[in-house]
Structure 1
């Protein structure tokens, strides 16, 4: 029996982001008994520095109870909504609880810009906003120079990273801030507002970044911080 039960009366919406109309699935009121999840995370999760140039915070491995409860229930979504070929099987690449913690002046260069997770065609990011709090969500972006919203192959990844390096060579380091509403380098093309118990699925190729216009409320305390569960999935 699953440790956590998903809400049969959850609210589901599919949106399309940007000029490329990238599908993003949003499920509100995703899990029943969310308090049990937060209590278990607070009791047993061991958060350490993310050691991830793209993520500005701390992370902890997701427990098997969460995975065993969630993964079997969401697998059909990928075949039905995202049109993943039926012959491909889910491969879980990474599963972590995450707390966004860094103030703007602590961000490294890559954290000041949106990023993509993978250009593999069957690769998806799954994000579950968990805690109550006055937190901000996730932004999706278009890189103005290359006009890219998604990075879809190795050549595009090379061109995108080269464009960023050329920008730094010409103008210097970007302003120490989250991308938030956009800037001269990026246009924000979509936003997923932060809402407790909101579950989101989007292709890993989509340029995205957390929104944090105010950082004073960020915390490494899993009871009070901007806590998310993040799964990275590839269909192979």
Structure 2
């Protein structure tokens, strides 16, 4: 495994040693940023604290070509095993007071064992990146079919006491395993079962302007085979 600071890395986080891919994307940041300004943005839904828009039609094909070697090395998967995929421009826009309690704690995206989540940063410092977490009371890092009930029971016991706000590294409920900085054209892929959260230290910087806001591309890859490591 390489040092996470290098151009293209596969590194492991937590006691479960979950592989995370951190890839230097070969995209035109300027082209993507310009495309984002020309799209129609819509609310991101109940889970996402912001707005979303379509990405250029050729984006996904380029993404797959660039990440194929690391995908095979980290998870034993190939592009031919992708069953379904989705990605979109994403802009975090909500201030902390607008967040629900569930938006204020780390989350997982799927428990199937066949899905990867991805984020492609089109912004950088002073914006923050993504954190990966462990639930302190249970020690759970990846939420699976086997431990979902245990994770949810413990979450239910404290969620009413969570103050609205973006996740900030370690707190009384979660330990932060690793922080991926926001770097322009950095693409990060990880199992969708891994607890994670976008990191926002100063919500005053959030805006609905793609040219000056916390612009990313986020998405999911579903596979016909299990994500193995």
Instruction: Give TM-score scaled by structure 1 length.
Output: 0.86
Alignment of 1:17-28 (within 5 A): 17-28=13-24
Alpha carbon RMSD of aligned pairs, Å?
Answer: 1.9
- Residue of structure 2 equivalent to 1:3: none
Aligned equivalents of 1:12, 1:189: Cα separation in 2: 20
Q: Give the stretch that moved more between structures: 125-134 or 181-190.
A: 125-134
Q: How does 1:174-185 map to 2 (within 5 A)?
A: 174-185=162-173
2:103 is matched with which residue?
A: 111
The correspondence for 2:188, drawn from 171, 176, 200, is 200
Deviation at 1:220, TM superposition (A): 1.0
Q: Does the Cα contact within 8 Å between 2:68 and 2:79 map onto a contact in 1?
A: no
Tell me how far apart the structure 2 counterparts of residues 87 and 129 of structure 1 sit (CA, whole Å): 22
Aligned to 1:60: 53
Kept in 1: contact 2:119–2:218 (CA 8 A):
yes
Residue 71, structure 1, aligned to residue 53, structure 2:
no
Once residues 219 and 56 of structure 1 are traced to their aligned partners in structure 2, the CA distance between those partners, rounded to angstroms, is 12
Structure 1 residue ranges without an equivalent (≥5): 1-9
CA contact (8 A) 1:133 1:226 kept: no
CA distance in 2 between counterparts of 1:149 and 1:46 reads 36
Question: Secondary structure of 1:141's partner?
Answer: strand
Other-structure match for 1:47: 41
Equivalent residue in structure 2 for 1:165, among 151, 156, 159: 156
Q: Secondary structure of the equivalent of 1:216?
A: helix
Deviations 1:169-226 (A, max 9, x none): xxx3311111212211111111101111111111111000011111111111111110
Q: Aligned-pair distance for 1:94?
A: 2.3
Stretches of 4+ aligned residues off by more than 4 angstroms: none
Task: Indicate whether 1:190 and 2:178 are aligned.
Answer: yes
Aligned residues: 219
> Which piece of structure 1 moves more, 207-216 or 69-78?
69-78
1:137 and 2:129 correspond: yes
Q: CA deviation at 1:67?
A: 1.5
Q: Mark the CA change 1:173 to 1:136 in structure 2 (over 3 Å): closer, same or farther.
A: same
TM-score (normalised: structure 2): 0.88
In structure 2, list runs of 5 or more residues that go unmatched.
1-5, 225-229
User: Matched residues in 2 for 1:52 and 1:31: separation?
Assistant: 32
Q: Is the aligned partner of 1:15 residue 2:11?
A: yes
Counterpart contact for 1:112–1:178, Cα < 8 Å: yes
CA deviation string 1:32-84 (max 9, x = no partner): 422111112212x221111132x211111223221122223323432232123
CA shift, 1:88, in A, is 6.8
Counterpart of 2:9 in 1: which secondary structure? strand
